[in-house]
Amino acid sequence: MIERLDGATRLYLILGDPIAQVKSPLGVTQAFQQRGHNALLSPLHIGPDDLGDFITGTSRARNLDGLIVTVPHKFAAHRHCASATARADLLGAVNVMRRNADGGWYGDQVDGLAYVEALRKKGFEPHGCRALLAGAGGAGSAIAEALIRAGVASLAIHDEDPDRRDTLIARLASLELGEVTAGSRDPAGFALVINATPCGMAESDPLPFDLAGLAPETLAGDVITAPEVTPWLAAASERGCPTLRGVEMFAAVRELMVEFLLDTSH
């Protein structure tokens, strides 16, 4: 329940296209108010062509303190940040932005940190494992970076856009922390297989991976929050695989976002 909403309420917005699938407005608003902050997160449906003008225009709003960014804006939003964390700059993407004292935007990308945290909470330690990731977009790139920093033995990345995949591989290789290669839809031989593509949001979507090579000891993950159990996770579960749902990742994302948005140290 929202306990306070008045003229002194500080505003935060979540921007996406589409936006109906997001689950963060209520949970983030409750987290703000549980911490004693009179603040509200509201969803806004903004298309790619309008994002730049929207951020520029809303930057003039004196009671707007932060933005959360979702599909498909994470890369474009980074270009509107006056400054960002090192990981956000490496990836060229952000999923959260807060207002600097000078009015500029400071960004971060916490999807990857949250995914690794959710894996460990599930009892899965990524250090030393072989991982396969589908999707080199905003969430996928962040998860890839976090897995490399968590010490996976190797990471294979599959994306339908080979240029986007290769760009991410090159960025991660520059860290010199682990083996990063181009992958495929075949999950055979991997201990961790994650879908970070939109495949599964619609019933007609194809599965992101071939099921023939999926072993029952492989952990199958997804970033999609609606539906909570995607066709990929349902198929993996039927084969005896442990799974990590997008909503489990989002619980960790929400806490990291709130901490970032309310941090005034930068």
For residue 30, what are the CA distances in angstroms to 1, 3, 27, 41?
7, 9, 5, 9
- Annotated active-site residue 23? The verdict is no
| Catalytic, out of 23, 74, 121, 122 | 74
**End-to-end CA separation in angstroms for the chain:** 31
**Sheet bearing 83-84, strands edge to edge:** 39-45, 10-16, 64-69, 96-99, 105-108, 83-84
Rounded to whole angstroms, how far apart are CA atoms 148 and 68? 25
Rounded to whole angstroms, how far apart are CA atoms 103 and 65? 9
Ramachandran assignment for 200, one of left (phi > 0), alpha (psi -120 to 50 degrees), beta (any other): left
Q: Which residues are catalytic?
A: 74
